[in-house]
Structure 1
Amino acid sequence: MPTLIVRQYKPSDFPAVKNLFIEGCHEHAYSTFYHALRQPHNWLLMILGFLLPLVTVGSILLAILDVIVVLAVLWLCGRKFFYGYAAHALADDMKDIPKYYLQQQGYNYWVVESDGEFVGMVAAIPSYLPGGEKNTELKRMFVVQSHRGKGIAKVLCRTVIEFAQKKGCKAVILSTTTVQTSATHLYRSIGFRCTHTSYMTGFTERLIRLQWICFRYDIPNGK
């Protein structure tokens, strides 16, 4: 069995952390495209796009081209969201991880090593609900693809849960997208429950029916 070590982030980790974050975000673009292909309204778009030029001008070539255009648009919609998400994060909290996560109360950033090899990461930030309930939000959790299915993500989740418990929080909360099915299964297996889902409001996100899904893990004896 490999030896897992979870430790606090240090500046020399940044290249590996940045690469994993970008790869993880870009990977979700593929899942989003396949999700979009399963939506009935997109099938309707492709059928209409195929039949319209076929019936009006009798061009099979133009009909096929219209379907290709719809597929390209769906791919670009998923790509736009997750590539944009990665770019925003790298210009925001991940631009200076020590300053953002390690120099503020209630924040933290961890990496996990397997036999000395970087294999994953996770972050935590404080979150306050209306009424003053103190929680911790789990963020930026990614595991290297070749090391998935080995329980690393569960170790990272428990690291954040233990951190939140020590801080006297009531719960750990997080948000993900419904296309990240492996992540949602993981959270449920640990004991997170879905609190609500909501469709994203942007035009491209509505086209591919992209949803946020929010989870909560209630900490036993949380204060």
Structure 2
Amino acid sequence: MASFQIRKYRDDDEEAAKEIFTLGMSEHVPSSFVHLLKQPLTQMVLTCVFCALLASSKSFLLPTLAVTLLLAGARQFVGYMFTSYIDASLKKDLNRICDTYLGHKDSCFWVAEIEGRVVGTVACLPAERAAGCLELKRMSVRRTHRGMGIAKALCRTVAEFTRERGYQAVVLYTSVVQTDAQKLYEHMGYTKIREFVVPEFVAKITNFSLAEYRLDLQQGGRRD
């Protein structure tokens, strides 16, 4: 098995970093669709549509077709929401990684590399909603290179950077459907400190929640 190295981001890593993020987020579309189907509101709407059409048409064909079309539309909608989030993330920071993460002493962006190929990413910067903490962001590893300890190494890189900068803790946010990520963070010593529903209307009606995790660190001297 080829060994990997963690290094700071370079300009020529941009396309690989954006590709890894995009593919990683797109993987959550199926699980998000399943999450949507499990919600009482979704089940109630599908049941009401089916029963109403069955009562009016006296046939199973029309209500079955209608429910199938609703499911297909819901699946497309979930995909659209993730595409919108990916596009927003690219515009927010991934199209200007150097400016966002490498222009300040308390932020950074790293990549995991194997034989010259970028296979993972992670970043951190001062947390907006947690004073005295850095926030871990943009953690992703190519599906073909998981199970090699890369994600754990990326987590440790952020923790060490945070400790060296003299911050109290690392915080991060992950969604209800990212169960593998939650298991990883808990294995690395993170504690879930709260869970909350995203304030957007669509997230509220689908009960799409985020979990905030925190890793407390031993204090060290802050570097300038």
Please confirm whether the aligned pair reaches a TM-score higher than 0.5, indicating the same fold. yes
Taking a change above 3 Å as real, the CA distance of residues 196 and 182 of structure 1, as seen in their structure-2 partners, is same
Partner of 2:98: 98
1:1-223 → structure 2 map (5 Å cutoff): 1-127=1-127, 133-221=131-219
Q: Secondary structure at the match of 2:173?
A: strand
Report which stretch shifted further, 71-80 or 154-163. Answer: 71-80
Gaps of 5+ in 1: none
CA distance in 2 between counterparts of 1:43 and 1:187 reads 32
Report which stretch shifted further, 70-79 or 213-222. Answer: 70-79
How far off is 1:174 after superposition? 0.3
Taking a change above 3 Å as real, the CA distance of residues 201 and 62 of structure 1, as seen in their structure-2 partners, is farther
Does the CA contact (< 8 Å) of 2:164 and 2:220 recur in 1? no
CA distance in 2 between counterparts of 1:193 and 1:166 reads 21
Q: Secondary structure at the match of 2:127?
A: strand
How far off is 1:43 after superposition? 2.1
CA distance in 2 between counterparts of 1:144 and 1:202 reads 29
How far off is 1:107 after superposition? 1.0
CA distance in 2 between counterparts of 1:211 and 1:222 reads 34
CA distance in 1 between counterparts of 2:146 and 2:78 reads 23
How far off is 1:161 after superposition? 0.3
How far off is 1:201 after superposition? 2.9
Q: Secondary structure at the match of 1:196?
A: strand
Report which stretch shifted further, 26-35 or 63-72. Answer: 63-72
Q: Secondary structure at the match of 1:84?
A: helix
CA distance in 2 between counterparts of 1:202 and 1:68 reads 27
How far off is 1:105 after superposition? 2.4
CA distance in 2 between counterparts of 1:76 and 1:194 reads 31
Taking a change above 3 Å as real, the CA distance of residues 38 and 205 of structure 1, as seen in their structure-2 partners, is same
CA distance in 2 between counterparts of 1:73 and 1:208 reads 15
How far off is 1:172 after superposition? 0.2
How far off is 1:142 after superposition? 0.5
Quick one: which amino acid aligns to residue 91 of structure 1? K
How far off is 1:70 after superposition? 2.8
CA distance in 2 between counterparts of 1:178 and 1:77 reads 18
Report which stretch shifted further, 69-78 or 12-21. Answer: 69-78
Q: Secondary structure at the match of 1:168?
A: coil
CA distance in 2 between counterparts of 1:202 and 1:129 reads 18
Does the CA contact (< 8 Å) of 2:165 and 2:220 recur in 1? no
Taking a change above 3 Å as real, the CA distance of residues 127 and 222 of structure 1, as seen in their structure-2 partners, is farther
Give percent identity, aligned residues only. Answer: 35
Task: Give the total of aligned pairs.
Answer: 221
Using the size of structure 1 for normalisation, the TM-score is: 0.92
How far off is 1:24 after superposition? 1.3
Using the size of structure 2 for normalisation, the TM-score is: 0.91
